[in-house]
Amino acid sequence: MTGQILQTLESRFMTPGPEDDGSGFRHWRFAVDGQGIAWARLDKAGSSANTLDGEVLEEFSTILERLEADRPKGLVIRSAKPGGFCVGADIAQFREMDDPARVREEIDRGNAALDRLEKADFPTIAIIHGPCLGGGLELALACDYRIAIDGASFGFPEVMLGLHPGLGGSVRLTRLIDPTEAMTMMLTGKTAHTAKARKLGIVDAVTKERHVAAAVQAAVGGEVEKRSQDFRDAALNTLAGREIAARQMRAKTAKKAPPEHYPAPHRLIEIWRRHGGDRDEMREAEADSFAQLLTGETARNLIRVFFLRENLKGQAPDSSDVRRVHVVGAGTMGGDIAGLCAIKGLSVTLGDVDNRIIADAVKRCAAMAKAKHMKPAEVRAALDRLIPDPNGDGVAHADLVIEAGPEKAEIKEKIYGELEPRMKADAVLATNTSSLPLDRLAKSLDRPERFVGIHFFNPVAKMDLVEVVSHDGADGTALEQARGFLGRIGKLPAPVRTAPGFLVNRCLTPYLMEAIIMVDEGVKPETIDRAAERFGMPMGPIELADQVGLDIALSVADVLRERLDRPIPETPDWLRRKVDGGDLGRKSGRGFYEWKDGKADKDDDAPDPGEGMTDRLVMPMLDACATCLREGVVSDEDVLDGAMIFATGFAPFRGGPMHYARERGFGEVADALASLRDNHGDRFAPDSYWTERGD
């Protein structure tokens, strides 16, 4: 209601606040306007987005100190950056904090600043545009009013880093809105967009940029209704209410984040259950727990994962000159690659020998766009950019041509023979092959230097990682263009060299094959999957093989077996017969498991995995990682760890396979492999990397 009133108010002020008064703050622009309202605008020095750190909060305390003496009519807090309000704490600063007592001191200082804001005896108003996350939301919650500019989003993503709010966020949000909604936001890390945030009561009003000054006047004048919890919210916050809700939250959270691997959400539930009735106690418990979590192993590793993602993002140059893309082969992969490119704003032509397959790809693009919550007009625009092109007319204009034809060298070479003469001389030709050696494919080309691998994973829309595959004859600029293109469509490029299975499939296959051998030995698939899930994999190897498709998993294993010196276990005959008989896994409804409604039907009573089963699964994967590093398939351990986490879901809280190996000790890993070799055969023989590179 108030939001509507604000939207209809005509503002006389078209600028978002007065000019800086030259107070000399590094991170804040401060001024008092003609109406006696103070404006503190956050403008974090040296950063494109606002983040909070000790210095930002210290300056903010100084501002408050001054205002306590001057008593303005009100205080407006907003961001001077066009991108948004504040994305939360500066995560780089977290990396250096390893002492809980020091973290606690920092938290206490931050809390003192926010308490001071909350207690100010003049109205305080946060004007929020763009993302308002984590510490940024905690700052806004300490204000009397939160006024959102349409498009603002709110959330506590701390849980993704193995943390929960630390600056009173859990205390304030559970007292502002329905406490179970507040807890859900913090437990899932999900973001609430403006309308949802308004409905939940996180924001008091929604306005437009040009009405900001009027909105501020209305808030200062007491015309904006302040949100308070109703009877139902209060009832949910009683001890009895919290007990019941906490039980449900624990069970639901444990399914996705078991407490032994991800303690943060479980601690948060416990803090609220125990202390939700006492503000000071809850604040104390939140701060204590945050300090423990931040210096604990899970958060340290998840913070590492955050930077592994940044590292991969950084592999793409800032801009890309790829505007037009032509995709050949509109099947499972090519169709979705083309659809994604169109959704991301590129002009795409899509060819195939079969027109029905192109039409089906266009339908999938519409579904993908809808799944991404695009508006109908945006979906239409994306579809307009995706042009069916059975004759390949788009080839001549494309900056990048992606081949996603069948996995047969002769067919791919024939396709290249038709494409290459029609392509622009400086265009890049990329193959999505998952197993064919690029140096062999390059031999058939006139311009092998413009040829690279861009290896997407299935499903294209979901999998962030894409391998950018080089070969000896590839030109550096072609590889850079490929990485830039991936950055442009929001993927994470992992540079790898051509080698059997490249990086990800090569490291994943020994793990999948070991699981298959265990089934052959009579172990139940559920038991094997449980061993991997207990290690922290999002799903076990048997379920994963069913998901990937047993035909695909086995053909990758065949290629590796043929091309690698290392023994890859033979596929049992019964499994080949199964695949020949059409049991391909999830896509056919039956593989190792029966699949119903996209879910594997599992026997919950399968026996628990025995001692050593996890090592037997994980060690072959670690060893393949070591081999890839030794052979230079991938340049370093960080790119490898990022690739394995973002392509296979390797237990993120362990920080990646090589990080896990380093934590465990390379010598220990080599010993574990040697003992597996003694029991199960030469496929476990440890790579020399462990002893050569061990500390």
State the catalytic residues. 434, 455, 467, 505
Is there a contact between 419 and 395 (Cβ–Cβ < 8 Å)?
A: yes
Q: Of 359 and 606, which has the nearer Cβ to ligand NAD?
A: 359
Q: Of 258 and 331, which has the nearer Cβ to ligand NAD?
A: 331
Write the CB contacts of 197 (distance below 8 Å, at least 6 apart in sequence). 148, 152, 153, 154, 203
Sign of CA dihedral 471, 477, 482, 484: positive
Question: In the numeric block, which tokens belong to residue 143?
Answer: 């204000």
Alpha-carbon span 70 to 495, nearest angstrom: 57
In whole angstroms, the minimum distance from the beta carbon of 450 to ligand NAD comes to 19
Q: Of 332 and 527, which has the nearer Cβ to ligand NAD?
A: 332
In whole angstroms, the minimum distance from the beta carbon of 678 to ligand NAD comes to 36
Is there a contact between 519 and 542 (Cβ–Cβ < 8 Å)?
A: yes
Q: Of 180 and 435, which has the nearer Cβ to ligand NAD?
A: 435
In whole angstroms, the minimum distance from the beta carbon of 456 to ligand NAD comes to 6
In whole angstroms, the minimum distance from the beta carbon of 328 to ligand NAD comes to 5
Alpha-carbon span 155 to 136, nearest angstrom: 9
Q: Of 415 and 518, which has the nearer Cβ to ligand NAD?
A: 415
Cα–chain-centroid distance for residue 365? 22
Q: Of 328 and 550, which has the nearer Cβ to ligand NAD?
A: 328
Burial of 398 (0-12, 13-18, 19+ CB in 10 A): buried
Three-state DSSP at 470 gives: strand
Q: Of 407 and 558, which has the nearer Cβ to ligand NAD?
A: 407
What residue spans of 177-238 are helical by DSSP H? Answer: 179-188, 194-200, 212-220, 231-236
Q: Of 112 and 411, which has the nearer Cβ to ligand NAD?
A: 411
DSSP state, residue 682: G
Is there a contact between 663 and 622 (Cβ–Cβ < 8 Å)?
A: no
Write the CB contacts of 452 (distance below 8 Å, at least 6 apart in sequence). 428, 429, 430, 431, 438, 468, 469, 470, 471, 474, 478, 479, 482
CB-based burial, 191-202: b 16+ in 10 Å, e otherwise: bbebebbbebbb
Question: In the numeric block, which tokens belong to residue 515?
Answer: 């699981």
Alpha-carbon span 508 to 617, nearest angstrom: 10
In whole angstroms, the minimum distance from the beta carbon of 336 to ligand NAD comes to 8
Write the CB contacts of 310 (distance below 8 Å, at least 6 apart in sequence). none
Q: Of 357 and 396, which has the nearer Cβ to ligand NAD?
A: 357
The tally of CA atoms less than 13 A away on the side-chain side of residue 286 is 27
In whole angstroms, the minimum distance from the beta carbon of 467 to ligand NAD comes to 9
Write the CB contacts of 458 (distance below 8 Å, at least 6 apart in sequence). 332, 333, 548
The helices-and-strands tally (H runs, E runs) of the chain is: 30, 19
In whole angstroms, the minimum distance from the beta carbon of 314 to ligand NAD comes to 24
Question: In the numeric block, which tokens belong to residue 632?
Answer: 């230079």
Is there a contact between 110 and 291 (Cβ–Cβ < 8 Å)?
A: no
Whose CB is nearest to ligand NAD?
A: 331
Alpha-carbon span 130 to 88, nearest angstrom: 12
Write the CB contacts of 321 (distance below 8 Å, at least 6 apart in sequence). 399, 481, 484
In whole angstroms, the minimum distance from the beta carbon of 331 to ligand NAD comes to 2
Residues that bind ligand NAD (CB under 6 A): 328-334, 351-354, 357, 404-407, 411, 415, 432-434, 456-458, 552
In whole angstroms, the minimum distance from the beta carbon of 338 to ligand NAD comes to 11
Three-state helix/strand/coil letters over 493-540? EEEEECCCCCCHHHHHHHHHHHHHHHHHCCCCHHHHHHHHHHHCCCCC
Three-state DSSP at 569 gives: coil
In whole angstroms, the minimum distance from the beta carbon of 416 to ligand NAD comes to 10
Q: Of 97 and 409, which has the nearer Cβ to ligand NAD?
A: 409
